[in-house]
Amino acid sequence: MAIIHNTTLEPTKLELLTTWLPTRPWYTGTGTPELAKAGGFRLDDPEGEVGIEFMVAVDSSGPEPVAYLAPLTYRAAPLPGADHALVGTMEHGVLGPRWAYDGFHDPVLRTELLALFEGRAQAMAQSISDTPDHEVTHSRTGSGPLSPEGPVEITEDQDGTGFALPDGTAVRLHRRPRPTAPEGATGQVSGVWDAPDGTRARAVFVSLQTP
């Protein structure tokens, strides 16, 4: 179970993302983002070592607000071989130094995301300890394990981030959450966030494509 501490972060997650987002190929803005945390959910690391969060941050710097999905993992020490995926470091008021990573590059997040697709993991509330988030939905056609065995190659383009499993199943993170899953998708995880106009928005965060 992840324990949510009501404490300080220096810098904040949004401050880290403000610097990091413009370096990504899927960021559509032209200047410095103006970010607000709008929603998301967490997954628990069974070992209790890694924090896992899927954060929706809305950028209001352009003509129209844009929602971005940032899966983040938080570690007490650097993740070996993942310097390229480091979003930044923070000082946590309770836990001390934390290394924040772009989560798709973290094997713990990938494993727990696949467990969510299989129904073996529960989406948890973003800001409340030990509380399931029942607004997060998931579906999948077919059966059998979604094995994350072995190293994976992370790909990134203007639309999002992905990796392929050994059996060829493609896992796709939609950095700008989309209203519906891509054509031919065999699984999806959907979530919600607070839109700037005060409505509750729902969209697909991650999709599966089976060969």
The reported pTM is 0.92
Task: Output the tens digit of pLDDT for each of the chain's 211 residues.
Answer: 555 455 666 799 999 999 999 999 999 998 899 999 999 999 999 999 999 999 999 999 999 999 999 999 999 999 999 999 999 999 866 667 899 999 999 999 999 999 999 999 999 998 787 899 999 999 999 878 887 667 789 999 999 999 999 888 999 999 999 999 999 999 999 999 999 999 999 999 999 999 8
Predicted local distance difference test score (pLDDT) of residue 35: 97
d(CA 17, CA 77): 20
